[in-house]
Amino acid sequence: MTPIMKIINLQVSYYTDSGRARALDGVSLSLEPGEKLGLVGESGSGKSTMALAMMRMIKPPGRIEGGQVIVGGTDLTALSDDEMLKARLSKISYIPQGAMNSLNPVMRIGAQMVDAIRAHNHSISGSEMEELCLQTLESVDLKRSVFRMYAHELSGGMKQRVCIAIGVLLKPQMIIADEPTSALDVVTQRQVMETIDRVQDKIGAAVILIGHDMGLMAQFVDKVAVMYAGRLMEVSHVREMFTDPKHPYAQALIKSLPNLDNKGIFQGIPGMAPALLRLPRGCAFHPRCEHMMEICQSVRPDLIPLTDGREVSCHLYSEAN
């Protein structure tokens, strides 16, 4: 199957007073239709930057410096500004983190859904648009009456589901969900995740779920990608990521997850993530790595495929090969 999405060597930098910060340093990834990928990493690892870059929403002082983002055969980085406007929501959509504030407080929900449709399709009639919106609302388990309501009349979970509804309104091929449940309670979290699962299944879109809740990832995604300092460290199927992670950073992450068997014993990862202004030479993780070798200090490891579709960026495995 041809991948529905391919990211090739994406590079994004931010130019600040203190210098150039490499937020994304050559990231490559691909997804099949209907596949769900979980993107995890610490704060500042570049996850959100990746989402913004894919939507071409990087604002100055940030810039996309290189690479391609190909969705459904179209290279988004090569589109004109107008074409990109059209592509947003119809080819690739974004479900924001913290829907608390993502809805316009002075417009009715329905109006905010309709204007999204109208921006992409000028010939569709008012009643058709309304019907589409109402059906989409139902598909995310919301009552049709929400159409006439204002954002402040809805609960957090409901607002998030409205955002999901908007995200799937035009049946995009790719959906990015940026920590969609972080502001919600556990019960609502599950509802929202189930909703995303269901609608994504219905339209056959690929999903990138960004977050740091590994437990949530485990229940929902097919593959997991681990990011660190703007680079991909490992991409594995979810089961294997949790049972047999290959990259030392991924291993440390999994080991640090609280576990009913060893209550009270917390294992962190010593050291701190590097500032994106001053990335270490060679492998970005080497200063904190248990298995650091001499080559790690000077040569940056490529993302190499292992057996059965896994990829790792670590010198431990290039030798084994």
Partner 1 sequence: MTSATITLSEFQQPSRLTLLFRYLRRNISLVVGLFIILGLVAFTVIGFLTLDTKDAYPLSAKARQPPSLEYPFGTDFFGRDLYAAMVVGMWQTALIGVLAGAIGTFIGVVLGFTSAYFGGLIDGGIKGVCQVLTPIPVFLIQVVIAGSLDKRSVTIYTMALIVVLLSWMGPTLVIRSQVLSMKERQFVSVAKLSGLGDGGIIFGEMLPNLLPFIAAAFVGQVFSAVFASFYLAVVGLGPLREPLLGNTIWAAQTQGAFFNGWWWWPLAPAVAMVLILSSLALINMGLDELANPRVRRTE
Partner 2 sequence: MSIKIILQRLAFLLIVIWSAATITFFIPRISTRNPIRERFGVLARSGGFSPQDMEQIVQSYNRKFGLDKPLIQQYWDYVSSLARGDLGVSLFKFPKTVAELIMEALPWTIGLLLVTTVLSFIIGNLLGAIAAWPHAPGWMRGVATPFVMLMGVPPVLLGVFLLFFVAFRMKIFPLGGAYSIGIVPSQTVEFYLDVLRHMLLPALALIFGQVGGWVLSMRGMGITIQGEDYVNFAEHKGLGAYTIFKDYYLRNAMLPQVTGFALALGSVITSGIIIEQLFALPGIGTALIDAIKFNDFLAIYGIVLFITIAVASLMVMVELLYPLIDPRIRKG
115 binds, among partner 2, partner 1, none (CB under 5 to 8 A by kind): partner 2
Say which residue the tokens 């604002």 belong to.
59
55 binds partner 2 (CB under 8 A): yes
Q: Site for partner 2 (CB under 8 A): which residue of 115, 201, 294, 302?
A: 115
119 binds partner 2 (CB under 8 A): yes
Query: Could you tell me where the beta strands, DSSP code E, fall in 17-138?
Result: 19-31, 36-40, 62-71, 74-75, 92-95
Pairing of strands 206-211, 174-178: parallel
57 binds partner 2 (CB under 8 A): yes
| Shortest distance, position 258 Cβ to partner 1, whole Å | 21
User: What are the C-alpha distances in Å from 79 to residues 26, 31, 69, 154, 253?
Assistant: 20, 21, 10, 37, 38
- Residue 259 tokens read as 């576990």
Residue 119 or 279 with smaller CB distance to partner 2:
119
Chain contacts with partner 1 (rule: CB under 8 A): 15, 17-19, 60-61, 270-271, 274, 277-282, 286-290, 292, 297-298
242 binds, among partner 2, partner 1, none (CB under 5 to 8 A by kind): none
Residue pair 257/274 in contact by the 8 Å Cβ criterion: no
User: 178: which strand partners?
Assistant: 210
Site string for partner 2, 91-110 (x = CB under 8 A): --xx-x-x-xxxxxxxx---
Residue 211 or 282 with smaller CB distance to partner 1:
282
Helices (H) and strands (E) in the chain, counts: 10, 12
Answer whether the bond into residue 61 is a cis peptide, omega within 30°: yes
Residue 101 or 219 with smaller CB distance to partner 2:
101
- Residue 83 tokens read as 């074409």
Q: Site for partner 2 (CB under 8 A): which residue of 89, 109, 208, 232?
A: 89
Contacting positions for partner 2 (CB under 8 A):
55, 57, 85-90, 93-94, 96, 98, 100-107, 115-116, 119-120, 150, 152, 163, 166
